[in-house]
Amino acid sequence: MSRHSAKTAGRSAKTASARDKKATKTDRAKTKKSAASTRRPLRKAARPAPSSKPKKPVAPIATPEPAPEMLRAPSPPMQPAVSPEPVRAHRYGVGEIVYYTSPSFGRTAASGNYTVVKLLPSDGDDYQYRIKSNGEAFERVAKESQLDKG
């Protein structure tokens, strides 16, 4: 035999064995499917019969003891806060009539008599007020330095 014919002979033998494997594989799959349809459901494994040995007593679970009450120590003495300046109150009260002087910069507002509507917190150095004029439909905010007794 020539070298070429030996190669082809080996190839044909390989393809024949591959075809045989494939055929047996499909036969097994068909058999498996048909067997699955006739198969009975599996039963659970039977439990072993209880032995005649006496069971060991189970120890009760220990509950943790309640924590002792927390002891509270007195807090260290604190010095009272000292304010650098005495706290002063608003100069004008709600409902009081004041004279408003508009600032010279920015928008100029109508200077005149206004009624204090609400006391506002301090804006750094000055207290603030919400004031309203009878001739205007809105309220404005003014600093205490812009107001005088009316």
Going from the C-alpha of 149 to that of each of 24, 27, 125, 129, 135, the distances in angstroms are 113, 112, 20, 14, 19
User: pLDDT (tens digit, 9 = 90+) per residue, 5-53?
Assistant: 555 555 666 666 777 777 777 777 676 666 555 556 566 666 666 666 6
pLDDT value for 110: 80
Residue 130 counted as domain residue: yes
Residue 82 counted as domain residue: no
pLDDT value for 116: 95
User: pLDDT (tens digit, 9 = 90+) per residue, 99-133?
Assistant: 998 877 767 778 889 999 999 988 788 899 999 99
Q: What is the count of structural domains for the chain?
A: 2
State the virtual CA torsion across 109, 138, 131, 125 in degrees, nearest 10.
-70
Is the pTM for the entire model greater than 0.95?
A: no
Which domain, by its residues, includes 22?
1-35
Residue 128 counted as domain residue: yes
Residue 105 counted as domain residue: yes
Residue 41 counted as domain residue: no
